Structure formats: C-alpha cells, structure tokens
C-alpha cells in the first residue's frame, strides 16, 4: 500500500534540493517551451521562474548560441543519438540585457518510444569562460614572447641574416655530414669594401641600411638551401651545402654582381664587396676552415677589393 506521507516527504526533499541547488533545474515540452524552472533562475538571470515558464528556451539565447544548439541537436539526431544527454555551452540573455555563459545539460525523455519532454540543468560558467579566455591570451602572449626569443637566438636583429651562434650550429651539422658521408660544402666570407667611409660620409643609419639591403639582395640571389650569416660588423658568411669550390665561386660572382648593380642611395663610391671562398677539408676543424677562408678574404682586399679569392 502506498504511504501518502512518505510520498509527501520525498517530494519535500526533492523540492528543497531543486530550490536550493546552485544549478537551475528545468523541464521543456517537445516545442522547447519551459513547463517548469527552479526558482534559483532569478539569482542567475534576474528572471522570476513565472516569467520564464511558458516561454521558448531559444528566445533566451543569443543568435549564435541558438544556431549552435540547433545544429548540434540535428547532428546528434542524424547520428542516431536521440536519447543521450549532451552538454551545450551557450550564452544566455539575462533580464537586464547582459549575457552570461551557461553550461546546459539536456536529457530527452521518451515514453513508449515517443519523445514527451526534456529535463535538464543549467550552470553559470561565466567565470570559467573568463579564466579560459585569460589563459588563452596568456598562452598566445607566451608564444609571442617565445617566438621573439627564438628570433633573437637565431637571427641578427639589424639585418635579418642568421646570427653567429646559428652559424656554429649549421656548420657543425655540415662538417659532421661531410665526415660521415664524404659530402662536400663550401663557405664564402665577405665584407663591404670601404664600409667605414660609407658610415663616415652617410652616417651610421645609412650604413645600417646598406647592410640590411645587402642581406636582402643576397637572400634573393642564393639558393633556398644556402644560408647567410652575419659574422660581425660588416662581415658575413654564406654557407653553400653540397657545393664544391667551382660552383660556390659561381654563386659568389652572382652576389658580387648583384651588389654592384644595386642602387643603395648613398653618397660617395658605389658599394662593393670582397669575397674569400673555400671548400671544406675533412682533415681540418671548423676554426681552421674559417681561418683559411678568412685569409682568402684578406687577400682579396689586399688585391684591390671588389674581387674573389679562393683557397
């Protein structure tokens, strides 16, 4: 026999839970119209429960959230997921017009295979969304900082060429490859002829611009696999992977011609460069190799500049 008092006690317990839980509990009919909503909705949205019952749930959502809910519902139905309990993140329009982020859990209720209503719960997750947004911004800012640090560790800030530290990394890779597989590679060391006069006559800002323009010219002249490094001051190194001395000299000549024919928009003599070019010998270490090619550059400078010396 059914105990009426027990039923009333159970009802009172459920009523207490529904009215005091922070989440908003509700029920919708098959047209998504509220047939019940817990009084806690007022603290969350500013609406009394009686102002919401009889209204369509979608009318309280932003257009973007409304579309997202309908699209997701259609997709779930198409996939045969009619009876599960999906979670939606939606923006709810409060009574005073401001919008809050809510997490909505919906459970379709069926009787004899026919949908009769929906029950669900809504939770304010605005604070969570705010922290998620801040976290994304912090991550994006950290990525930006990391990229800047990576660039500082990789590129010369004035010219955009690779820096000296990166040269040591790449040439170490090439020397190890040459020793292991018997491959060859070459480097060219060059500097700007009479660069001090360029600075003295035109100023250091113009001198910096000359170095920047030379870097751009050379990047457009060398192969995609070649690499340009600023060694220091107006001295640069070009790394030619897999090129023997003859082919490296061809590229070095192209670089000299490109610089000679470019209008640098400065006063005084035309800008020119001198080159020392050499191929790696697996019996020498990196410092010996660089020193050998640097001596070839000094010889080119001594022989009248605007020329190439090989070693």
Burial class (CB in 10 A: 0-12, 13-18, 19+), 111: exposed
- Which CATH class name applies to 4-126? alpha beta
Rounded to the nearest 5 percent, the helix, strand and coil shares of the chain are 50, 25, 25
What is the residue whose two structure tokens read 């080119």?
Answer: 300
Residue 32 CB neighbours (<10 A): 16
Report, as an integer, the average pLDDT of 48-67: 95
pLDDT (tens digit per residue) in 234-278: 999 999 999 999 999 999 999 999 999 998 888 877 899 999 999
Cβ–Cβ under 8 Å, residues 308 and 251: no
The pair of structure tokens assigned to 153 is: 């560790």
User: 9-29 pLDDT, tens per residue?
Assistant: 554 554 544 555 679 999 999
- Whole-angstrom Cα distance, residue 116 to residue 51? 23
Q: Give CA separation, 79 vs 53, 112, 120, in Å.
A: 31, 21, 21
* H or E element that contains 76: helix 63-78
Helix, strand, or coil here: 223? coil
Report pLDDT digits (tens) over 64-83.
999 999 888 888 777 776 66
Cβ atoms 105, 121 nearer than 8 A:
yes
Q: What would the two tokens of residue 10 be? A: 């159970």
CB-count exposure of residue 150 (10 Å: 0-12, 13-18, 19+):
exposed
Q: CATH assignment of 153-310, given 3.30.460.20, 3.30.70.2740, 3.40.50.1100, 3.30.70.270?
A: 3.30.70.270
Query: For the chain, which residues make up each domain, given as ranges?
Result: 4-126, 153-310
| Predicted pLDDT at 267 | 83
């Amino acid at each position: 026999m059914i105990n009426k008092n027990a039923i009333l006690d159970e009802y009172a317990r459920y009523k207490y839970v529904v009215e005091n839980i922070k989440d908003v509990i509700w029920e919708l009919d098959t047209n998504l119209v509220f047939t019940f909503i817990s009084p806690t909705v007022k603290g969350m949205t500013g609406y009394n429960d009686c102002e919401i019952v009889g209204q369509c749930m979608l009318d309280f959502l932003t257009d973007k959230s409304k579309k997202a809910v309908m699209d997701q519902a259609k997709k779930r139905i198409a996939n045969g997921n009619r009876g599960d309990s999906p979670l939606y993140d939606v923006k709810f329009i409060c009574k005073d017009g401001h919008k809050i982020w809510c997490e909505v859990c919906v459970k379709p209720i069926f009787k004899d295979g026919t949908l009769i209503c929906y029950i669900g719960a809504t939770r304010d997750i605005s604070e969570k969304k705010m922290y998620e947004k801040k976290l994304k911004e912090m991550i994006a800012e950290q990525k930006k900082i990391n990229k800047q640090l990576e660039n500082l560790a990789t590129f010369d800030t004035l010219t955009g060429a690779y820096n000296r530290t990166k040269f040591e990394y790449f040439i170490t890779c090439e020397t190890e490859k040459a020793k292991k597989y018997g491959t060859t590679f070459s480097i060219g060391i060059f500097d700007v002829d009479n660069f001090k006069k360029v600075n003295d006559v035109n100023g250091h800002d113009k001198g910096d611009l000359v170095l920047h323009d030379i870097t751009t010219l050379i990047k457009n002249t060398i192969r995609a696999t070649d690499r340009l490094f600023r060694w220091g001051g107006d001295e640069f190194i070009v790394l030619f992977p897999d090129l023997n001395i003859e082919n490296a000299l061809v590229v070095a000549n192209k670089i000299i011609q490109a610089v000679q024919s470019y209008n640098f928009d400065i006063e005084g003599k035309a800008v020119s460069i001198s080159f020392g070019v050499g191929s790696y010998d697996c019996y020498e270490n990196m410092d010996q190799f660089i020193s050998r090619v640097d001596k070839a550059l000094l010889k080119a400078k001594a022989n009248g500049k605007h020329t190439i010396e090989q070693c």
